Amino acid sequence: MANLFTNLTKWTKLAKPKRKKSRKKRLTKRQNEKRENIKWTLMFVLTVGTISLYLAAFIEIDKTQASIDFNRQTLAQLDEDLTLKINSVEKMKRADVISKKAKKIGLIASKPETLIVKITND
């Protein structure tokens, strides 16, 4: 019976193995330095990448703003030119200006005809 009891305990040990306490392995000084170097390199690369991304975005924003300002100035200049041309056309439509231009070119001015209408009581 004792033999059976010892076999029974062995079988239960096989069924439920003891859990070993897993200890964290201590890192060596070299491994710590390697991890620190990787961390610093990663931080440096991310910092440089972030700064370059910021500068690229800033440059694009600046170019866009300059383009918008240039377009606004061009629009104002074209508006002013259009107003001047409209005023010039309106000025040219006046009768006295047209007659002066016609005389300058050498066109003959028309003379008004006088019509006499006789009315009879027949």
**33, pLDDT greater than 90:** yes
Print burial letters for 46-58: b (CB count within 10 Å at least 16), e (below 16).
eeeeeeeeeeeee
What is the rounded distance in angstroms from the CA atom of residue 77 to the CA atom of residue 61?
A: 24
Q: What is the pLDDT of residue 119?
A: 85
Output the pTM of the full model: 0.48
Specify the higher pLDDT residue, 107 or 58: 58
pLDDT band at 34 (very low <50, low <70, confident <90, very high): very high
State the pLDDT at residue 114. 81
Residues 122 and 116: their CA atoms lie apart, in Å, by 18
pLDDT band, residue 74 (cuts 50/70/90): very high
